């Protein structure tokens, strides 16, 4: 087991864990239950950690985190087929009419 990532926001940490899982890299969260004691020990001392199970996957996991979390690729803007509103590339659903993007429709 090897420590791979630390963050104070559990949602971010689980996002990283999910990205690793999508790439068949097993990991687990350590210190997940420390949030309730943050007031007692100082919120700055309650960082959550992500650990990978297989040490041989460390380099691949680090590269995935660097590419997907630390430096994600920019996605192109898109125009909604339904209402013709321009949406940021990070949106999967039109902000105006809530219609899914073309890519999301193709995946479904």
Cβ atoms of 55 and 27 closer than 8 Å: no
Delimit the domains of the chain by residue range. 2-70, 74-108
pLDDT in tens, 6-25: 988 888 899 999 999 999 99
d(CA 55, CA 21): 15
CATH code matching the domain that covers 2-70, chosen among 3.30.2320, 3.30.70, 3.30.40, 1.10.287: 3.30.70
CA distances from 31 to 27, 39, 48, 56 (A): 13, 15, 5, 23
DSSP codes joined into one string, 48-73: EEEEES-GGGHHHHHHHHIIIIISPP
The model's pLDDT over 78-100, given as tens digits with 9 standing for 90+, comes to 999 999 999 998 888 999 999 98
What's the predicted TM-score (pTM) here? 0.59
């Amino acid at each position: 087991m090897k420590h791979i990532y630390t963050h104070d926001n559990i949602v971010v940490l689980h996002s990283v864990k999910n990205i690793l899982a999508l790439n068949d890299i097993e990991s687990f969260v350590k210190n997940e239950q420390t949030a309730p004691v943050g007031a007692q020990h100082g919120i700055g001392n309650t960082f959550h950690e992500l650990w990978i199970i297989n040490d041989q996957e460390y380099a691949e996991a680090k590269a995935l985190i660097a590419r997907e979390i630390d430096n994600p690729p920019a996605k192109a803007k898109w125009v909604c087929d339904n209402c013709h509103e321009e949406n940021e590339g990070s949106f999967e659903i039109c902000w105006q009419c809530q219609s899914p993007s073309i890519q999301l429709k193709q995946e479904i």
